[in-house]
Chains A and B, each alone.
Chain A
Amino acid sequence: MTAPRDALISAIDLHKAFGPTPALDGASLEIAAGEVVAIMGPSGSGKSTLLHCIAGITTPDSGRIVYRGRELSGMSDATRSALRRGEFGFVFQFGQLVPELSCLENVALPLRLDGHKRREAERRAASWLDRLEVGDVAHKRPGEISGGQGQRVAVARALVTAPRVVFADEPTGALDSLNGERVMKLLTEAARDTGAAVVLVTHEARVAAYSDREVVVRDGRTREVELMNR
């Protein structure tokens, strides 16, 4: 596989099975700093498992994941958690916002967990909500806003800590075309402006078209279409 230069993350020959079912069967992937990569493939191809492995959420059965020169598998759970909190941002299909907190508090939460004072955390959160064009819902709870607004709040929460990588698993999967495109446009523009890489799992080509390149996963293996994209 031809690797992008200056890989931020390298995943090499990953295998992962859930019971007797193999989800990854020798998947490899490299992500460069600041690039937007779409992981595509049919349902059940292993694309989400690949994302979860490289994000340190799931541990592969074998294979290596190297993030900025450090092996994820060699890290303690605490170190991996700190890495996820400090350097990674996450956006899932259903925002997964905390329903009891306002949108502003949701976005400020990663900063609060990181020890920032409330006022500073909420100031930064408010600025991100504005950036994602959802400043007007700051004091509403997730249950009081639309799905499209919720995903934009989730994107703000993913970016508020200035992560090096944003992992997005079907971020537009629950949205209609218009809202989905708005989320993708705002997410990729914000990521490019801040220099964050985006690893995006999607089965929708129009969503993948916001990426710099795509990697196709089939039967748990990555196909070498990357070569053709370059």
Chain B
Amino acid sequence: MAIGETFLGLLESRPRHGYDLKRAYDERFGQGRALAYGQVYATLSRLLKSGLIEVHGIEPGGGPERKRYAITDAGVTDVQRWLTQPEKPDLYLQNTLYSKVVLALLTGRPAADILDTQRAEHLRLMRELTRRKSTGDFPDQLICDYALFHLEADLRWLELTAARLDQLAKEVSA
């Protein structure tokens, strides 16, 4: 997750204190993994140094948590560039599951069992996400869907590989 760019995007809507920023980030994007304060202030300090944000006022009491930060023009340009630049899709060309299946075939272990165990684990996670979706709000449903579609893609690969284990076994032992 690009924390710096996300902060800039949040600051573009309005200036915020460091604590506000952290809270907004955790609520919208944290998914149970809250940012550490150290990470928040290190990121703000980097953005300040690059001229992408500026201090927009300090409340009495001092300390880093009392500063309000605002985005600069350079910051807005940076957010714009980041938002419009496509993310590089993951290629998934190195994957542990494939290695496990090949190693199982090489060492005479039951590769189908490995695929079945993994399938059960994937479906267990998918059930958890489906339950969460049914009680979650709309943003939560979208986040769960993202994860569900990725898990489903894995499962399709597991199924296809299970159906072609004999062929893979021949290739591996050749």
Contact = CB atoms under 8 A, between A and B. Distances in A.
A225 B114 CA distance: 11
Chain A, interface size: which category?
10 to 19
A204 B159 CA distance: 11
Interface string A33-49: 00000000010000000
Contact of B130 (A204, A210, A223, A229): A210
Which label, helix, strand, loop or mixed, suits the secondary structure of the B interface?
helix
A206 B148 contact: yes
A216 B126 contact: no
A218 B162 contact: yes
Interface stretch (B53-61, B77-85, B89-97, B115-123): B115-123
A214 B123 CA distance: 8
Interface residues of B, number: 22
Contact of B116 (A206, A212, A228): A228
A185 interface: yes
Contacts of A218: 162
B123 to A, nearest CB: 6
Which label, helix, strand, loop or mixed, suits the secondary structure of the A interface?
mixed
A42 B163 contact: yes
Contacts of B152: 204-206
B159 A209 contact: no
A228 B117 contact: yes
Interface of B: 116-117, 119-124, 126-127, 129-130, 134, 148-149, 151-152, 155-156, 159, 162-163
12 contacts: A189-B134, A205-B123, A205-B155, A206-B152, A209-B126, A210-B127, A211-B127, A214-B120, A214-B123, A218-B162, A225-B119, A228-B117
Nearest 7 CB-CB pairs, A to B?
A: A209-B126, A228-B120, A209-B130, A205-B155, A205-B152, A225-B116, A209-B127
Interface of A: 42, 185, 189, 204-206, 208-212, 214, 216, 218, 223, 225, 228-229
Given A209-B126, A214-B120, A225-B117, 5 more contacts: A205-B123, A205-B126, A206-B126, A209-B148, A228-B121
